[in-house]
A and B are shown apart, each in its own frame.
Chain A
């Protein structure tokens, strides 16, 4: 079964600094990969997805992620953090032929003024 590991349950960065949230998956076959953001008491919003078309994926709100097969990673980055980026971020993976998403445990991003 697929699994997703998000290193760092809490990440704090200063406003304007680089944001790096880590995600590693377990599949030997490149899956579909997603990053979602969740604001308090809300559902999940899709930031970006990897579907094998390009290894560097650009998403909304200035976020991007790079798929690295050799490292089985799909880390999320943003060059300059904004206060509005403070939220919970979830990495998720899905296999071909299986509609289910497997979520990581989430990373809470705090932005320091």
Chain B
């Protein structure tokens, strides 16, 4: 199944801002929006944001998500060492009748 497109890696300095992108199409991100997940090495993923850019309780206010057309974005401000992780986007694809994932972006905090 066609997946979503994420850059494989992003590197930013400590305390800077990182914006991660996720490109889909009108059947998935452009229609239903995207969810964002964070995964630290050796741990299961954790939900960061879901439909209509909602943030689950306990998720830092430094994280925000948005969407423009078929591109979803996750912005992390004031980067901290603990933000270094893999980030995945996902969306329901109404054409496929299935969930699709991006390949993930490895965020490195320098």
Do A and B come together as binding partners? no
